[in-house]
Amino acid sequence: MSRLNFLSSDRFVGLVFIAPFVVTALVFMVYPIAEAVRMSFFSYNPLRPDLTSFVGLANFEFVFSDPLFWDSFRQATIWTLLSIVFQTVFGVSIALLLHRALFGMAFFRGLLLFPYIVPTVVIALIWRWIFNPEIGVVNHFLLWVGLINEPVYWLSTPTMAMASTIMLNVWKYTPFVVICVLARLQTVPLELYDAAKVDGAGVIRRFLDVTLPQLREVLIVVIVFRTIWTFNKFEEIYLLTKGGPGTSTFNLAVYSFEQSMANLRVGVGAAAGVVMMIMLLVGSIVYLRIAGFGSEEK
């Protein structure tokens, strides 16, 4: 094949088009991940790079024998589970509410999806403002209605701080569930509902027997995705509570960040990151199984 022929051949065009992606992915994704794994086997202090040394599995031993790591793990599990349950319940409810042909629906849909694009920094600032114990509007309202008798310390008691971060997370990410469920609802054949109506099924029966089975697939995908992401979230917690009060809202991402940044134990932080990645890989395999990778390739 002559050189000119090769340059205009399909094979060449295909390679030229994929090349930038391969290069970018290798440099900015594969390399950092490999580097993170490598760092987890080294003792590394950014202020004393001359003392860097290979320590084998010592970082992992440190992580697994650190009570704070297990606290973080437990707190991350609680925060993930509660976030996902509320996001799914609210998400499906709002999607059902929005899935109607009514005048002005685009307006309501826009407003209800809006929290998804609000920067986490902004939400954290607003949260600190409205949940402020002395001057915040939430306490003021609850006192006024009579639901509470004294101010609630939303961000400075462990339980309430956890509740506040969960609220923040649910508020921001419920729209994601709404978008996915709404997209699926639009493809449910109306005949199914008509048939159920003819059979005398009420609203609740129709939801349980028609809607829910149709949503099963999308809900599984959404829950797997959201679980993986929520478990590893950093900013949603760090910006609101910095993991506090004390360490009561630490999750693994905050743990890893604090080990690297505050304690300057970058190797330990990397080891915690590798543990997170392994859990994530297991989650991804579950997802790929569900999505049926390899079974429907064209």
Partner 1 sequence: MTDMRVEFWPAVKKVLLYVLLCSVTFVVCFPLIWALSTSLKPKSEIFAIPPTLIPKAMTLENYEALLTGRQQYYQSGGTAQPSGPTPAQFFTRWFMNSVIVTIGSTIISIVVSTLAAYSLTRFRYWGRTAIPYFSLVGYMVPSIIFVFPLFLMMVRLDLTDSLWSLIFGYVCITLPFCMWLMWAFMRSIPIEIEEAALIDGASRYQVFVNIVLPTALPGIIAASIFSMIVSWNDYLFGRVFINSLDNLTLTVGVMLFFEGTHVDWGLLMAASVLMTLPMAILFMALQRHLVAGFGAGAVKG
Binding-site size for partner 1 (CB under 8 A) equals: 87
Would you list the DSSP string of 56-88?
TTHHHHHHHT-HHHHHHHHHHHHHHHHHHHHHH
* Residue 113: other Cβ atoms inside 10 A: 17
Kindly state the helix (H) or strand (E) to which residue 110 belongs, with its residue range: helix 105-113
Of 20-39, which residues contact partner 1 (CB under 8 A)? Answer: 20-21, 24-25, 28-29, 31-33, 35-36, 39
* Residue 24: other Cβ atoms inside 10 A: 10
- Please, where are the H alpha helices in 65-211? 67-98, 105-113, 120-130, 137-145, 158-185, 190-198, 203-206
Which amino acid appears at position 54 of this protein?
F
The span of 55-63, 125-133, 145-153, 195-203 binding partner 1 (CB under 8 A) equals 125-133
Of 143-162, which residues contact partner 1 (CB under 8 A)? Answer: 144
Q: Name the residue nearer to partner 1 (CB basis): 10 or 50.
A: 10
Of 63-102, which residues contact partner 1 (CB under 8 A)? Answer: 94, 97, 100, 102
The residue from 63, 76, 84, 228 that contacts partner 1 (CB under 8 A) is: 228
The residue from 240, 253, 268, 271 that contacts partner 1 (CB under 8 A) is: 253
Q: Name the residue nearer to partner 1 (CB basis): 162 or 184.
A: 184
The span of 4-12, 73-81, 150-158, 202-210 binding partner 1 (CB under 8 A) equals 4-12
**Cα distances (Å, whole numbers) of residue 148 to 128, 134, 190:** 19, 14, 46
Contact between 121 and partner 1 (CB under 8 A)? yes
Token pair for 248: 């009561």
Token pair for 184: 């699926």
The span of 147-155, 191-199, 203-211, 229-237 binding partner 1 (CB under 8 A) equals 229-237
- The residues that bridge with 42 in the sheet, in sequence order, are 54
Q: How far is the CB of 122 from partner 1 (least distance, A)?
A: 4
